[in-house]
Amino acid sequence: MSREERNMRAGDYVLGLMDETERARAERDLTIDAEFRDAVWSFASRLEALDGQAQEPVAEGLWSRIAAEVAGVTQQTRLELVRSDMAAAGVPLTPPDRHGALGLKRPMSGFFRGARGTALAATMLAACALGYVIGQASVTARDPEVVVVLLNEQDVPGALVEAYADDRVRILPLTDFEVPAGKVLEVWTLFDADVGPVSLGTMASSREAVLSGPDLPAPRPDQLYEITLEDAPRSSAGRPLGPILVKGLAVSPPR
Amino acid sequence: MEDCDTLMRRVAGGDRSALAAIFDLEAGRLIAIAKRIVRRRELAEEVVQEAFVTIWRKAALFDHERGAARAWMTTIVRHRALNIIRDGGRLDFHDADQLATLGDRAAEADTAYADLSEAEDLKRCLAQLEPERRRSIVMAYVVGFSHGEIAAHLGAPVGTVKAWIRRGVASLKECLS
C-alpha cells in the first residue's frame, strides 16, 4: 500500500466513509499493519478538536445498564481478536482439529519432534490468512519474503513473523510472553544447518517490534524461526541457551 | 486524576472500575458526538451503551504503546452511530424534507468548524483547504454524512465529492504533520 493509499484509507476510516466490507478489512489491517495503525490514530487524534466541548447530560440509569451488560461479557484476548479477524477473512488461525478439517492425524508429539503434520498445516493455513490480510494491507515492494506463524508446544500460535529481503523482521506477539526481570526474548532463524541458529535480535517484552537482523541471505520458505527466553542482554553463547517459547517454519505469502 | 490512556490499560487488564471511571469522564462527550449523527437522544445513549460493551470486550486491541484511547473510543462510537443511521435505509434525494434536514445538519457541521479555536492547528489547516473540500470533510466527520449525502447537499456528483475528500485529506495530513 503506497503512502497516499494508506492515508486515503485512514481518512475514509476515520471519517466513517467506508462500507461494511471496507471497514472490516481496515479493522483487520489495524491489528497487523503498524503503519496503517499510525496513519489512522494520528489522523483521528488530530480531528478530535472538531468534537467540540459539547457535553450531553448523562441519563441516570445509563451506567447501570452498561455495568449489567458488561457483567455478562468476557473480555477477548488479543489473540482471540486477531483470530476472529482472520476468521472473518475466511481462514481460521487456530490449528485444525486433531483429526479434523484436513484429515491429518496428530503426529506423535507434533512439531517439536520433527513430525510436522498438523502444526505445519496450521502454520500454512494461518500464513495464507495472514498473506490475505497483508495482501490487502500493504502491497508494496516491501512485502515480506516470508511469513511465519510461531507455535508453542501446544501448537497454539504465539507470534507472527514477517521477514523481509532487507533483513528486517517484524514480530507481532499474539500472546503475553512472561519475561522475568533480567531476561529477554531473543529471535532466531536457522537459514543453514551448517551455520546453526543466528540471532536476529532481542525484545524486552511482548510488544510488536521490528528488528533489523544481520546481513543474511533472503529468507526462504521452510526456514526455521524461533523465539527463546535468554539472560539479558542476549544469549552469551551466540546460540540459543534458554527455553524455546515458540517456533515455526516460513511460508511464502500469496502475492 | 488518571487519564483515559492509563484507565484503558487497566480496562484491558479486566478492571471494571476503570471502565466506570472512563464512563464518568467521557460519557457526556460521547453522547454528544453520537447525537450529532443519530439526531435522537435516546438513540445516542443506545449507541454509547453498545460502544462501552465493545470497549470492554475489545480492550486488548487498544494500542497500549501509542495511547490514543479517546480517539479509539470516539471511533467506536461514531462507527456504531453510522451503522444505525445507514441501516435505516438510504436517503431519498428527491424528498424535499430530507434535503431540508440535510441543510440543518450541514449547518451544524459548519458551526463545529467555526467554533474551532483559532489557536488549533486543525483550524489553520482546514482553513487552507478549498471550501468544498473542507466542508465535505467536516460534514462527513461531524454529522456522519455519506458521500451521497454530501453530494446531494452540495449539488455535486458523488465522484467529485470523493475526489474532494481524497485530496482534502491528503493536504490536511500534510499540514498537520
Total structural domains within chain B: 2
Find the range with the poorest average confidence among A193-202, A228-237, B59-68, B120-129.
B59-68
Determine, for residues A49 and B16 on separate chains, whether the beta-carbon distance falls below 8 Å: no
Q: Where are the domains of chain A?
A: 3-71, 78-249
Q: Tell me the C-alpha distance between A8 and B163, whole Å.
A: 10
CA dist A97 and A107 (Å) reads 12
User: Does B123 sit within 8 Å of A49, measured CB to CB?
Assistant: yes
Contact residues on chain A for B176, CB-CB shorter than 8 A? 43, 46
> CA triplet A244, A233, A195: central angle to 5 degrees?
55
Residue of B nearest to A66 (CA): B49
Evaluate whether B126 touches B138 at the Cβ level (below 8 Å): yes
Q: Tell me, yes or no, whether B129 and B70 share the same domain.
A: no
Both ends of chain B: CA-CA distance in Å? 30
- Residue count of chain A, please give it: 255
> Are B152 and B101 in the same domain?
yes
In total, the C-beta contacts within 8 angstroms joining chain A to chain B are 143
What grid cell was written down for A190? Answer: 536457522
Q: Are residues B51 and B126 in the same domain?
A: no
- Is residue A198 a contact partner of residue A217, using CB atoms and an 8 Å limit? no
Residue A59's alpha-carbon distances to A63, B41, B76, in angstroms, are: 8, 10, 20
At A194 the pLDDT is: 84
**Burial zone of B104 (CB within 10 Å; 0-12 exposed, 13-18 middle, 19+ buried):** exposed
Residue-averaged pLDDT of chain B? 89
* Domain endpoint, select from B87, B109, B141: B87
The position carrying cell 551466540 is A238
Same domain flag for B75 and B121: no
> Would you say the pTM of this structure is higher than 0.80?
no
Q: For residues B75 and B112, state if they share a domain.
A: no
- Verify whether the Cβ–Cβ distance A67 to B20 is below 8 Å: yes
Pick from B57, B60, B74: CB nearest A51:
B74
Q: How far is CA B60 from the centre of its chain?
A: 22
Grid cell locating A3: 503512502
What is residue A106's predicted lDDT score, i.e. its pLDDT? 34
State ipTM: 0.93
Residues 6+ apart with CB under 8 A from B42: none
Q: Identify from B29, B116, B133 which residue to disrupt to test chain A contact, counting A C-beta atoms within 10 A and taking the largest count.
A: B29
Domain of residue B101 covers: 96-176
**CA B5/CA A56 separation, integer angstroms:** 22
Q: Is the peptide bond before A233 cis (omega within 30 degrees of 0)?
A: yes
Whether residue B8 contacts residue B21, with contact meaning beta carbons closer than 8 Å, is answered with no
Splitting chain A (255 residues) into consecutive groups of 10 residues, what average pLDDT does each group show? 86 94 82 80 92 89 95 82 62 39 33 42 53 41 78 85 89 88 94 89 88 89 92 90 90 74
Q: A134 is written with which cell numbers?
A: 497483508
Residue ending a domain, among B70, B87, B104, is B87
- Residues B26-36 have a mean pLDDT of 96
Chain B, 98 to 137: residues with Cβ < 8 Å from chain A are 112-113, 115-117, 120-123, 137
